[in-house]
């Protein structure tokens, strides 16, 4: 069943792209990428969020071709070992303290060499899409429906009910 | 020898047959997207026996409409939505969206419907000698497509408030904005068309054409990877491949379909690959070359009040005011998690930007590009797409960023977020205009593309193209191509209606020809 209650036949092959070590490294990346700050200071993303993001990213890349899996395997290796070049610290990214990991991501994003910045984006885009599509993170966007798949029930602010009826009359009723 | 295919009027899921198959038919079609599905319906309606082979899986509209965006990417997008063109030289890394499911990329469009602009038709006729592709010649095909997919103008009431802000800004700058046309019926403005419509309102080809193909006796097989076109004495006589029914979806059970004609409709990226793997295309220099993408980008802007931009049609307006500069402006507002991913920063900085999402408006632009792309065989079964952006197109891309930012500020935006990695939000028009004059590494531009076209282009002779004006291969008889790859040049507008129109024309010609040859055979 989908989160909208639609019966979905399971056609997922469940293929994975990363081993456990690489998955842990991606979870550590997510922990910093989705960290927050409060009066108490810097807080890592909740473990459940980081693990969910790493797990779904693994499935996402795993569903692609062997080229895609190999490509992201290489990128994951690079992002794990680049602190040596970016921070000058002989440490894997996943073993850096949270504040240093965040500083590392910040420097990757603002790197003078465009391809290094691209390395940051290659992970940030899919990981953020996964993180912010459900739960508290979706709620933090201000999105006012239960899920992204939930059809609108509220009328558009700019559309009067009569206009909506007119639209449906002109174009016919929706299916599904 | 394998048995034949079952038939019960529904899509056959290849992964569930449990064995390979051998079949014969009049026309075998590889691919079920905007080209393949149109061909299948028209040929089946003409009484021909048709088999459609689709590499991707089959999901019903109710199923894919319920997917989260990244579930949709994983299940029905090619390469899980992470497909990119490798930029050569000063070229952005361009993310490409393409479908891999029954219905192909038509399932993932924003529903935008354009005809090919008149000046492009004139260029094809006047400069390329393709008289058959004049606006007048294609008019019946356009009408047929627009009738079947219910093309209609998006009512102003469907514009989101976020789009309206950009529209107001454009009006203040004297930029003309028009309502888009889309292929929807009963759209209520869920704003996530490109991940599958949750209301079943978008008339993608799995909804508008494939049901008719099935009702007229076609068999549509999903999870069927065609690996080779079978050629015998200079004629295409069928295809062979394997069903993706092995462990983890690997190719396993072999199948073969013999046919009087073979239609390849795998799209701009995969059509050249199938031909090359079949040992074809070596006699022409144009196969896999001159690929155009319509590189596109979007600019996000922060306004003072809450807009909830997700309430409205994903795409509702456009402007062709900059058509002479090769730029089309298009309103767009995708799913919030996608937009969140495009905001700058990490950690708390990024979270602060995300929290302001209800006050964000988005607008996009795409560039009518020169053909700088090439499709080549890769190490796996996926092609390698490289793209070298022409300096002219890079300048157009940067110009479009400035135009969109100017529209946002004129519409009342407080800050504008440009699609440039690592760049802080812009606060004034001056800053944006200065940026356009500043040298910039093109690889910092966040670029996307939705319309790869032209890798097996149509031409008047074999030296300049892969297929003739009827879509028939110059190299092999009875082999046709009917997808975006045959478009002779970039068109500068969304490509689903143009592809469907070209496929309609190819299908009409092929149906006439096959019916004629059947009659001739019957009457001696």
- B-chain CB neighbours of A145 within 8 Å are 310
Inter-chain CB proximity B158 and A66 less than 8 Å: no
Residue with the larger pLDDT of the pair A143 and B282: A143
Helix (H, G, I), strand (E, B) or coil at A117: helix
Is the Cβ of B61 closer than 8 Å to some Cβ of chain A? yes
Residue A167's pLDDT band (boundaries 50, 70, 90)?
very low
Beta-strand relationship, B296-302 and B415-417: antiparallel
Residue B231, H or E segment: strand B224-232
Chosen for mutation from A128, A168, A172, A173 (greatest number of chain B CBs closer than 10 Å) is A128
Residue with the larger pLDDT of the pair A146 and B390: B390
Is this complex scored with an ipTM above 0.90?
yes
User: Residue A173's pLDDT is what?
Assistant: 37
Inter-chain CB proximity B67 and A168 less than 8 Å: no
Whether the predicted pLDDT of B143 surpasses 70: yes
User: Residue B426's pLDDT is what?
Assistant: 97
CA B481 – CA B459 distance, rounded (Å): 13
CA B403 – CA B464 distance, rounded (Å): 37
Residue of A nearest to B13 (CA): A11
Residue with the larger pLDDT of the pair B322 and B198: B322
Mean pLDDT, residues B348-366 taken together: 97
- B-chain CB neighbours of A100 within 8 Å are none
Q: Which candidate, A169, A165, A158, A111, places its Cα nearest to that of B441?
A: A111
Q: pLDDT tens digits, residue range A2-43?
A: 776 777 778 899 999 999 999 999 999 999 999 999 999 999
- B-chain CB neighbours of A68 within 8 Å are 79-80, 82, 382
Residue B22, H or E segment: strand B21-30
CA B136 – CA B62 distance, rounded (Å): 38
pTM attached to this predicted model: 0.94
Q: Which candidate, B447, B453, B439, places its Cα nearest to that of B120?
A: B453
Is the Cβ of B331 closer than 8 Å to some Cβ of chain A? no
Residue B89's pLDDT band (boundaries 50, 70, 90)?
very high
User: Residue A153's pLDDT is what?
Assistant: 63
Whether the predicted pLDDT of B500 surpasses 70: yes
User: Residue A149's pLDDT is what?
Assistant: 83
Q: pLDDT tens digits, residue range B289-302?
A: 999 999 999 999 99
Q: pLDDT tens digits, residue range B403-441?
A: 999 999 999 999 999 999 989 999 999 999 999 999 999
B483: tokens are 């997808």
Q: How many other CB atoms are found less than 10 A from the CB of residue A20?
A: 9
Mean pLDDT, residues A148-167 taken together: 56
The full 3-state SS of B382-394, as one line of letters, equals CCEEEECCCHHHH
> Which 339-398 residues of chain B touch chain A by CB within 8 A?
340-342, 344-348, 350-351, 354-355, 357-358, 378-382
How high does pLDDT run on average in chain B? 95
Q: Which candidate, B65, B174, B235, B219, places its Cα nearest to that of B410?
A: B174
Is the Cβ of B421 closer than 8 Å to some Cβ of chain A? yes
User: Residue B285's pLDDT is what?
Assistant: 84
Helix%, strand%, coil% for chain B, nearest 5: 35, 25, 40
Inter-chain CB proximity A158 and B164 less than 8 Å: yes
User: Residue A162's pLDDT is what?
Assistant: 47
B157 closest CB neighbour out of A110, A148, A163: A163
Buried/exposed B490-517: b ≥16 CB within 10 Å, e otherwise: bbbbbbbbbbbbbbbbbbbbbbeebeee
Residue of B nearest to A122 (CA): B82
Query: B120 near B487, Cβ under 8 Å?
Result: no
Whether the predicted pLDDT of A164 surpasses 60: no
Provide the total of helices (H) and of strands (E) in chain B, helices listed first: 14, 21
Q: pLDDT tens digits, residue range A13-24?
A: 999 999 999 999
Whether the predicted pLDDT of B477 surpasses 50: yes
Whether the predicted pLDDT of A157 surpasses 50: no
Return the axis-axis angle of helices B391-410 and B429-437, rounded to nearest 10°.
170
Helix (H, G, I), strand (E, B) or coil at B69: helix
- A-chain CB neighbours of B341 within 8 Å are 124-126, 128-129, 132
Mean pLDDT, residues B51-62 taken together: 97
CA A125 – CA A87 distance, rounded (Å): 23
Inter-chain CB proximity B198 and A171 less than 8 Å: no
B308 closest CB neighbour out of A125, A144, A172: A144
Whether the predicted pLDDT of A105 surpasses 60: yes
Residue B339, H or E segment: helix B336-341
Q: pLDDT tens digits, residue range A46-92?
A: 999 999 999 999 999 999 999 999 999 999 999 999 999 999 999 99
Measured in angstroms, the CA of A90 and the nearest CA of chain B are apart by 22
Measured in angstroms, the CA of A16 and the nearest CA of chain B are apart by 9
Inter-chain CB proximity A176 and B80 less than 8 Å: no
Query: A123 near A130, Cβ under 8 Å?
Result: no
Mean pLDDT, residues A127-150 taken together: 93
Residue of A nearest to B100 (CA): A64
Lookup result for tokens 């996943």: A94
Mean pLDDT, residues B3-26 taken together: 94
Query: B22 near B38, Cβ under 8 Å?
Result: no
User: Residue B1's pLDDT is what?
Assistant: 52
Inter-chain CB proximity B188 and A66 less than 8 Å: no
From B270, B294, B368, B451, active-site residue? B451
Q: Which candidate, B102, B39, B479, places its Cα nearest to that of B259?
A: B479
User: Residue B93's pLDDT is what?
Assistant: 87
User: Residue B524's pLDDT is what?
Assistant: 66
- Known catalytic residue: B216? no
Q: pLDDT tens digits, residue range B372-385?
A: 899 999 988 899 99
Query: B490 near B483, Cβ under 8 Å?
Result: no
B257: tokens are 């379909």
CA B469 – CA B441 distance, rounded (Å): 41
Query: B357 near A143, Cβ under 8 Å?
Result: yes
Measured in angstroms, the CA of A47 and the nearest CA of chain B are apart by 15
Residue A136's pLDDT band (boundaries 50, 70, 90)?
very high
Residue of A nearest to B201 (CA): A174
CA B257 – CA B220 distance, rounded (Å): 12
User: Residue A158's pLDDT is what?
Assistant: 43
């Amino acid at each position: 069943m989908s989160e909208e209650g639609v019966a979905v036949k399971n056609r997922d092959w469940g293929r994975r792209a990363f081993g456990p070590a690489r998955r842990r490294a991606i979870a550590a990346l997510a922990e910093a990428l989705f960290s927050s700050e409060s009066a108490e200071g810097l807080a890592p993303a909740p473990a459940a969020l980081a693990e969910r993001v790493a797990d779904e990213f693994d499935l996402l890349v795993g569903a692609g071709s062997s080229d895609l899996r190999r490509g992201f395997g290489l990128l994951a290796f690079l992002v794990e070992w680049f602190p040596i070049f970016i921070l000058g610290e002989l440490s894997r990214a996943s073993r850096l303290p949270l504040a240093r990991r965040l500083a590392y991501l910040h420097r990757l994003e603002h790197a003078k060499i465009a391809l290094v910045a691209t390395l940051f984006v290659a992970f940030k885009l899919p990981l953020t899409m996964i993180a912010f599509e459900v739960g508290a993170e979706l709620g933090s966007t201000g999105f006012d429906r239960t899920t992204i798949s939930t059809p609108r029930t509220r009328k558009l602010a700019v559309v009067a009910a009569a206009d909506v009826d007119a639209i449906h009359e002109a174009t016919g009723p929706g299916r599904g | 020898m394998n048995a034949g295919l079952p038939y019960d009027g529904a899509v056959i899921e290849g992964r569930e047959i449990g064995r390979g198959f051998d079949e014969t038919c009049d026309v075998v079609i590889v691919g079920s997207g905007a080209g393949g599905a149109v061909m299948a319906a028209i040929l089946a309606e003409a009484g021909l026996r048709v088999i459609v082979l689709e590499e991707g899986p089959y999901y019903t509209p109710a199923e894919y409409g319920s997917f989260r965006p990244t579930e949709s990417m994983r299940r029905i997008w090619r390469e899980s939505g992470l497909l990119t063109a490798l930029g050569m030289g000063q070229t952005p890394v361009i993310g490409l969206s393409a479908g891999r499911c029954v219905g192909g990329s038509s399932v993932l469009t924003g529903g935008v419907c354009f005809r090919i602009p008149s000046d492009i038709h004139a260029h094809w006729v006047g400069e390329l000698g393709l008289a058959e592709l004049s606006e007048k010649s294609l008019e019946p095909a356009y009408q047929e497509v627009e009738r079947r997919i219910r093309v209609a103008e998006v009512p102003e009431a469907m514009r989101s408030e976020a789009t309206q802000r950009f529209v107001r800004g454009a009006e203040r700058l004297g930029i003309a904005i028009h309502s888009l046309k889309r292929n929807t019926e009963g759209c209520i403005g869920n704003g996530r068309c490109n991940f599958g419509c949750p209301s079943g309102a978008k008339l993608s080809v799995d909804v508008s054409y494939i049901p008719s193909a099935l009702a007229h006796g076609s068999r549509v097989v999903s999870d069927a990877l065609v690996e080779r076109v079978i050629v015998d004495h200079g004629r295409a006589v069928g295809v062979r491949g394997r069903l993706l029914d092995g462990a983890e979806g690997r190719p396993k059970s072999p199948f073969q379909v013999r046919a009087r004609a073979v239609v390849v409709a795998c799209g701009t990226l995969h059509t050249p690959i199938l031909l090359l793997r079949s040992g074809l295309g070596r006699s022409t220099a144009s196969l896999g070359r001159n690929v155009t993408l319509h590189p596109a980008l979007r600019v996000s802007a922060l306004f003072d009040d809450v807009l909830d931009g997700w309430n409205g049609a994903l795409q509702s307006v456009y402007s062709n005011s900059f058509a002479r500069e090769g730029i089309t402006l298009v309103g767009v507002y995708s799913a919030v998690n996608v937009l969140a991913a495009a905001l700058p920063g990490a950690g708390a900085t990024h979270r602060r930007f995300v929290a302001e999402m209800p006050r964000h408006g988005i607008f996009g632009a795409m560039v009518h590009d020169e053909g700088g792309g090439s499709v080549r065989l890769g190490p796996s079964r996926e092609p390698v797409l490289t793209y070298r952006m022409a300096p002219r197109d890079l300048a157009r891309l940067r110009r479009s960023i400035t135009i969109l930012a100017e529209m946002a500020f004129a519409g009342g935006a407080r800050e504008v977020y440009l699609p440039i990695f690592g760049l802080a939000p812009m606060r004034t028009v001056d800053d944006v205009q200065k940026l356009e004059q500043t040298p910039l590494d093109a690889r910092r531009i966040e670029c996307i593309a939705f319309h790869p076209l032209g890798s097996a282009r149509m031409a008047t002779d074999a030296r300049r193209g892969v297929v003739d004006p009827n879509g028939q291969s110059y190299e092999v008889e009875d082999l046709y191509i009917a997808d975006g790859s045959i478009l002779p040049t970039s068109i500068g507008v969304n490509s689903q209606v143009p592809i469907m129109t070209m496929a309609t024309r190819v299908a009409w010609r092929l149906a006439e020809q096959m019916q004629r040859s059947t009659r001739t055979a019957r009457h001696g």
